[in-house]
Every structure is written in structure tokens, then in C-alpha cells.
């Protein structure tokens, strides 16, 4: 019999989880697998300013990590998706540095995409639970 998923929800979750039918994060075998987080407002709409959108994505990510008793310092693997990286990478990476912390850094894969459902930036992570 399959086991139930151990889902982690942030305390003030936005509308996208229900709208698109996905869990914010799943705890499994000492790790936290966090779904891609975007810079959404509470109603699920995209924050129009890129820097603010990236900050909101990190705020959403950090809320999930905190709900699991974790923090960005526990992140071991990061995947970043961005629309039009040639034009937006510098802004995204400058804002991300505010949250990245000190070395040693997590692994990171950055992927340029053509579509993120109205968003310009998305971040997903795997964290080792304390």
C-alpha cells in the first residue's frame, strides 16, 4: 500500500497550489523537496517588477522551508528557471545574492525557458532536513 505524502504548507499560502493542483513541498527520507516557487501575490498573480518578483519567490520559498523547520542554509540543490535570461539574468542573480548566504553554496542549475505561466523567475530546491 502506498504511503501518504508528508506535505508541508506555508502558513500563508497563495492560490497557485490549489489552482494548479500541486504540493508546496514533500518531506521524504530526511530531505525536503520544494516545488518551484514564483513571485506570486496571494491571489496567484505575478508581481510585475522583476526584482520584486524574485524577492517574493524567495519569500515564498523561505516560508515553506521555515514551515518544515529548515532554512536556505539547509538547501543542497537549486534549480532556477528564467524567461529571457540574456536580458534578466543580471537582475535575478543580483537579487538572489541577497538570500544566497555564505560559502559553501548549494549546487545550482539555471535554465532559460520560454514560458513560466506569466512569471519571469522560478526557483525549486532540495534541502537536507535538520
Task: Give the tens place of pLDDT for each residue, 81-122.
Answer: 999 999 999 999 999 999 999 999 999 999 999 999 999 999
Strand partners, 38: 122
Q: Detail the DSSP E strand segments found in 9-129.
A: 25-28, 31-38, 75-83, 107-113, 121-128
Distance, in Å, from the CA atom of 54 to the CA atom of 93, rounded to the nearest integer, reads 9
Nearest Cα residue to 40 out of 52, 31, 29, 32? 52
Q: pLDDT-derived band of residue 13, with 50, 70 and 90 as boundaries?
A: low
Mean pLDDT, the chain, whole residue set = 92
**84 in Cβ contact with 112 (< 8 Å):** yes
pTM exceeds 0.75, yes or no: yes
Q: pLDDT-derived band of residue 43, with 50, 70 and 90 as boundaries?
A: confident
Amino acid at each position: 500500500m502506498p504511503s501518504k505524502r508528508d506535505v508541508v504548507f506555508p502558513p500563508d499560502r497563495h492560490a497557485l497550489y490549489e489552482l494548479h493542483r500541486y504540493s508546496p513541498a514533500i518531506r521524504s527520507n530526511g530531505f525536503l523537496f520544494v516545488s518551484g516557487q514564483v513571485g506570486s501575490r496571494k491571489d496567484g498573480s505575478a508581481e510585475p517588477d522583476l526584482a520584486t518578483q524574485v524577492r517574493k519567490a524567495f519569500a515564498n520559498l523561505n516560508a515553506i522551508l521555515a514551515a518544515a523547520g529548515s532554512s536556505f542554509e539547509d538547501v543542497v540543490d537549486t534549480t532556477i528557471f528564467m524567461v529571457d535570461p540574456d536580458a534578466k539574468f543580471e537582475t535575478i542573480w543580483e537579487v538572489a545574492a541577497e538570500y544566497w548566504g555564505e560559502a559553501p553554496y548549494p549546487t545550482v542549475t539555471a535554465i532559460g525557458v520560454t514560458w513560466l505561466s506569466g512569471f519571469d523567475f522560478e526557483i525549486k530546491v532540495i534541502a537536507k532536513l535538520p
